[in-house]
Structure 1
Amino acid sequence: MARGKKAKRSEGKTISLKEAQSNVEVTLDGRRRLNLSFKGISAVPKCIQKLSDVDELDLSRNLIRKIPDFIGKCINVTVLDLHSNYLEQVPVVIGRLQNLQVLNLCNNRLTELPSEVGLLKNLHVLNLGLNQLQVLPPSIGALKELCRIGLSDNRFSRIPACLSKLEKLEKVNLDRNPVVTEQRFDQESLMVTEKLYLVKESLLCQQCLSKCQTESTESVHNEDHKDPRT
């Protein structure tokens, strides 16, 4: 009897549809979140297929080893949180989640990602920290809405080239990776980019116009007084 109970515990907890429904929360902005974090489950519950109206799905801090293919049916989900599990791979059906804006796969056992991740055209945040990744699929460069990507505590020896294609990227975290020294400079330059825009004076407010005129005058003054020997 004791052996049977032990085996049952090792399989992880089972979540019924009723229990899943009781864990649906409404956020302050009116979004529906299914919160199954810290439930001791080793598999994604099949019953979530019947909760297709949720906007956010939190399966973090569990014992999940595999993302099932039926996750591809959760097409309305905008936030998918699977951090702190035991995932070793991501299925290609992940590319069907076209409304996904946040994907958190931090603290798992991932060694690679499918190229289908590049199909998530609305993705803003991608967290892949604390895994075993050495490279990213080139398709990541197609994520034109991506603003933040977490790659800390992996095995990157070079900064992924695909990141240079992400025009909206604001923050890259590559901490605690074996990235070579000269590459660190590239990482900084990747995140700090200056953009110059030409704007008609008529479109500027008086304060901004005055500031630009002052800076322009100072620049000319400095040029006139610059030592020609320098």
Structure 2
Amino acid sequence: MPKAKGPKGKKITLKIAKNSIKITLDGKRRLDLSKMGIVAIPKCLLKLCDVEELDLSRNQIKKVPDWIHRFQNLRWLDLHSNQIDKLPESIGQLQALLYLNVCNNKLTTKGVPMELGHLKNLCYLNLGLNAIDMRPSNVGALKELKEVGLFDNHLTSVPTNLLKLPKLKKLNTKRNPIPPTREEQEAEEQDTVRRVGDLYLVNKKDLCNPCMTMCQQDRSKIKSIESSALRRRNFTNMVIPNSIVKEF
């Protein structure tokens, strides 16, 4: 039985690549090959390795080649929305890199090489929408980082090594299975109570499916909060067990 052929994607020639070079507002050369249906990064791009910016986002790329380190002038690399499950160790040699976006791929913790910690000038790193389940310890060595995206991953704790970075202004860890602190939980409960202050009665038949689902979720959350509040209720006027509580 013949092997099933995978998608070939669009063939990118050197001519197509040259015609895809744009000049940014600050005079840098950007090679924009986004949304081109690329499956494999073509080696002909080595002829243009002097560009400062490279956009390969929104394609079907599964592998970043080892020769990516040849782009020594690269300050901006966008690989978001592909199918990459591992970054090459050679990416750590891109010493001029300021911006790296590998959001919305298939990266795991093992797919983030230790060499990423060699990017000493990196200011922006987006690892969101992947399958990373442990905090990348190597990222803590990037002292110039100002923004880090780790949202929509599988993290179970806040990366404390990132919180210590001297120039960090924004760390996004939203929608990870990180248990909320007691303060966060109480704030969420108060917010939910405020949101249900104005209630409107409607018939089920007048609700669309998404609205019905949202109402059911809010109802379950309110019941959970009420149950939790009852369990935590303190009776400060009880003198001995089974004594009568004085109501005020």
One fold, TM greater than 0.5? yes
Partner of 2:22: 25
Residue in 1 that maps onto 2:180: 181
Which position in structure 1 is the counterpart of 2:132? Answer: 133
* 1:195-214 correspondence to structure 2 within 5 Å: none
Which is worse superposed, 22-31 or 135-144? 135-144
Aligned identity (percent) is 51
**SS state of the match for residue 100, structure 2?**
strand
Find the residue that maps to 2:148 and give its secondary structure.
Answer: strand
In structure 2, the partner of 1:92 is 89
1:32 corresponds to which letter in structure 2? Answer: R
Cα displacement (A) at 1:127: 0.4
RMSD, matched Cα = 1.8
CA distance in 1, matches of 2:46, 2:161: 34
Q: Matched residue of 1:139: which SS?
A: helix
TM normalised by structure 2 equals 0.69
Structure 1: runs of 5+ lacking an equivalent? 186-230
- How far is 1:16 from its partner? 0.6
For 1:31-180, list aligned pairs within 5 A: 31-112=28-109, 113-180=112-179
Distance 2:170 2:39 in 1: 32
Aligned length: 180
Q: What letter is aligned with 1:51?
A: L
Letter in 1 for 2:165: L
| Structure 2: distance between partners of 1:36 and 1:120 | 24
List 4+ stretches of structure 1 deviating above 4 A. none
SS at match of 1:181: coil
Tell whether the 8 Å contact from 2:89 to 2:113 is kept in structure 1 after alignment.
Answer: yes
The 1-side partners of 2:153 and 2:119 are apart by 22
Q: Please tell me whether the aligned partners of residues 159 and 183 of structure 1 are also in contact (alpha carbons under 8 angstroms).
A: no
The residue type equivalent to 1:95 in the other structure is G
Q: Distance in 1 between matches of 2:34 and 2:14?
A: 16
Structure 1 residue 161 displacement after superposition: 2.4
Aligned equivalent of 1:197 = none
Do the aligned partners of residues 156 and 30 (structure 1) sit closer, same or farther apart at CA in structure 2, a change above 3 Å counting? same
Structure 1 letter corresponding to 2:150: L
User: Secondary structure in 2 aligned to 1:129?
Assistant: coil
- Give the distance between the partners of 2:65 and 2:105, measured in 1 at CA: 16
Deviations 1:165-219 (CA, angstroms, capped at 9, x unpaired): 311000011111111112997xxxxxxxxxxxxxxxxxxxxxxxxxxxxxxxxxx
1:123-159 deviation line (CA, Å, top 9, x unaligned): 0000011000011332211101000000110001101
